[in-house]
Amino acid sequence: MTKETVLVIGSCGQLGTELVESLREIYGDAQVVASDIKKSDNPVFEGGPFEDLDILDADRLGEILQKYKPTQVYHLAALLSATAEKNPEFGWKLNMEGLFHVLNAARDTGIIKRVYWPSSIAAFGPNTERFNTPQYGAMDPTTIYGISKLAGELYAQYYFNRWGIDTRSLRYPGLIGYKSAPGGGTTDYAVSIYHDALTTEHHTCFLKPGTTLPMLYMPDALKATLDIMHAPAEQIKIRSSYNLAGMSFAPEEIAASITKEIPSFTISYEPDYRQAIADSWPAVIDDTRATEDWGWKPQFDLDAMTKDMLKNLKPQYSAEKAK
């Protein structure tokens, strides 16, 4: 492999934190530049270069590009569904202008050879087929986050078609991991529930029973992200964004999975504004194209994820108790 330098924008978020760790294992600490508006105290960021970057500041992005000459950029900075609803204008601005700055820099400097930018199940809407949601079908997102993701998909595809920028993207389901806190998503109850299981043994869910949503465990999300970025360009036949699936479940199903490990665990329901967001999203995604084009295959199902989440979170809480 030629010597690559990688820039991760929005590196302190739920996905970025883990991606920086994985990328540093592959490319070496010095070759992976982490950047975010504010550095988090996660030790992973002590292991290699970190730059302060507000992605709305295109000049600052330009300085970082000149300093490190990254050949690959993972642009992850965004406001997620629930947070963006609280400030829709800023959600649109950050999500869209951030993408413009990265794509324009790729076009105008020639430094960046490949761009990764995530889309989401939020790009679908109430008229999308809810079960086995196809790659191509109705897309009528109702949240500002989803609207920005759908527009961004088309925008990235436009840069590929018009200027040959090697853009790659996945429509992530809800992401679940234990290494970092999630940030303002509608699917994030499925992360909090594990923390609650190990502390109060009770979770009050902001979605009601029966709300089936597509989800993906972080090791699978990392694998998909690295696989699509490492696949030969000719295998990437979709330049808007690929459907991606791991598992689908409703709150009572994840609760039942936890109860197998912690029998005293209980769940209750207090749906709020996030219920309407969840109701506008698909339940089960058809990701056949990702499998056909670049060999996607997830490893974790719900029970395997539950066992792994609890195993990895437990020491964290035992250590806190011992303090």
Min dist CB 245 to ligand SER, Å, is 13
- Overall size of the chain counted in residues: 323
Min dist CB 186 to ligand SER, Å, is 4
The three-state (H, E, C) secondary structure of 80-139, written as one string? CHHHHHHCHHHHHHHHHHHHHHHHHHHHHHCCCCEEECCEEHHHCCCCCCCCCECCCCCC
Q: Which is nearer to ligand SER, 81 or 212 (CB)?
A: 81
Residues 36, 16: Cα–Cα separation, whole Å: 9
- Does 180 help bind ligand SER (rule: CB under 6 A)? no
- Does 285 help bind ligand SER (rule: CB under 6 A)? no
Q: Which is nearer to ligand SER, 186 or 243 (CB)?
A: 186
Q: Which of 174, 246, 251, 282 binds ligand SER (CB under 6 A)?
A: 174
Q: Which is nearer to ligand SER, 79 or 198 (CB)?
A: 79
Q: Which is nearer to ligand SER, 5 or 186 (CB)?
A: 186
Q: Which is nearer to ligand SER, 58 or 151 (CB)?
A: 151
Q: Is 27 an annotated catalytic residue?
A: no
Tokens matching residue 149: 């993701």
- Does 133 help bind ligand SER (rule: CB under 6 A)? no
Residues 42, 24: Cα–Cα separation, whole Å: 15
Answer yes or no: are the C-beta atoms of 12 and 174 closer than 8 Å: no
Binding mask 52-81 for ligand SER (x = CB under 6 A): ----------------------------xx
Min dist CB 79 to ligand SER, Å, is 9
Q: Which of 77, 121, 165, 176 binds ligand SER (CB under 6 A)?
A: 121
Q: Which of 128, 186, 211, 306 binds ligand SER (CB under 6 A)?
A: 186
Looking up tokens 């869910």 gives 205
Stretch that binds ligand SER, among 15-23, 53-61, 133-141, 185-193 (CB under 6 A): 185-193
Q: Which of 145, 189, 194, 242 is catalytic?
A: 145
Collect all residues with Cβ–Cβ distance below 8 Å to 199 and sequence separation of at least 6: 317
Residues 199, 318: Cα–Cα separation, whole Å: 10
- Does 10 help bind ligand SER (rule: CB under 6 A)? no
The number of residues that bind ligand SER (CB under 6 A) is: 11
Say how many Å lie between the first and final Cα of the chain, rounded: 46
174-176 β-sheet, strand order: 174-176, 213-217, 247-249
Q: Which is nearer to ligand SER, 105 or 216 (CB)?
A: 216
Answer yes or no: are the C-beta atoms of 202 and 195 closer than 8 Å: no
- Does 112 help bind ligand SER (rule: CB under 6 A)? no
- Name the burial class of residue 148, with classes exposed (0-12), middle (13-18) and buried (19+) by CB atoms within 10 angstroms of its CB: buried
Looking up tokens 């000459």 gives 69
Using CB under 6 A, list all residues that contact ligand SER.
Answer: 80-81, 120-122, 145, 172, 174, 185-187
What are the catalytic residues? Answer: 145
